[in-house]
Structure formats: C-alpha cells, structure tokens
Amino acid sequence: MKKNNLGLLLILAGAVLACIGLYLIHAQEDAQGILRVLPFVCIGAGCGIFGHGVGDMANRWAMRKHPELERQMQIEKDDERNIAISNRAKAKAYDGMLFVLAALMVSFALMGADMAVVLLLVFAYLFIVGEFIYYLNKYQKEM
C-alpha cells in the first residue's frame, strides 16, 4: 500500500472511531462495566489515529515542495551517530522507567489500591523485564 493511501486510511479510520465513540456516549443512558469506558477509549484512540494521519499527510505535503530538505532529513535519520544517540537515550529512559514502575507498584500496594490494579502493574513490569532478557540473549547470540 502506498504511503499516501495509508495516511488517508488513518485519517478516515480515526474519524470513524471518534464518531463511534461520540455516538456511544449519546446512545447509552446507563452503561455498566466496560461499556461505560468504551466510548471514551474510542474517542481517544480515534483522535490519536486521526492526528497521526493528519501529521503524516502534512509532513509528506511539506516535503513534496522541498525535496532537498527531505533528502537531508533522511540522511540525518539514517546517520549512525544519531541512531547511537537515540538508542542510548532509549536505554536511559528504560532504566528510569524500571525504577518509576517499581516505586509506583509499591506505593499503590501501600495505599491499599485494588489488587487488580497492582497485579496489572506487576504483570506489565514483568513483561517489560522479560522482553529485556529475551532481547539481551538474542543480541548476545548474534554478536
């Protein structure tokens, strides 16, 4: 699929999803359980998808008028130094995220938050650490 069509598809899908969310807000009087939250999730996801599609289309439209700028940006994006800097920043953010999530889990547990919330945080934390261990082993075997 061409990039242009993907941007239009994202714009359309985001708008439809946001409209579905708005419809669900007005159509449901006394929603219970997940139906109480679903319209707002649809609106949030729809707006995010719509914004991504519009930003992508605007970027492509601006770059079409300035091909030399597009070429320069592609060179900077593919530059090894910039890739190394980005990877190092991601590693620092990951290290910080581990401490923040651990502190958040402990504080929720001490506050007596619902067990489901604490367990969701624990499972997310363990998934992230498990993914780190998987890729660590994978990359060690490759190098």
Structure tokens at 103: 């502190």
Q: What is the CA radius of gyration of the chain?
A: 21
pLDDT at position 103: 93
pLDDT at position 6: 85
Q: How many residues does the chain have?
A: 143
Residue 46 predicted with pLDDT over 60 = yes
Query: Looking at the whole model, is its pTM more than 0.85?
Result: no
Q: What is the mean pLDDT of residues 21-45?
A: 87
Q: What is the pLDDT of residues 1-30, one digit of tens each?
A: 566 688 899 999 999 999 999 998 888 877
Domain boundaries, the chain: 1-78, 80-143
Block residue for tokens 């889990």: 105
Q: What is the mean pLDDT of the chain?
A: 88
Q: What is the DSSP string of 5-20?
A: HHHHHHHHHHHHHHHH
Residue 113 predicted with pLDDT over 80 = yes
Residue 43 identity (one-letter amino acid): I
The answer to which of 26-35, 87-96, 133-142 has the lowest mean pLDDT is 26-35
Block residue for tokens 């091909």: 67
Q: What are phi and psi of 114, to 5 degrees?
A: -55, 140
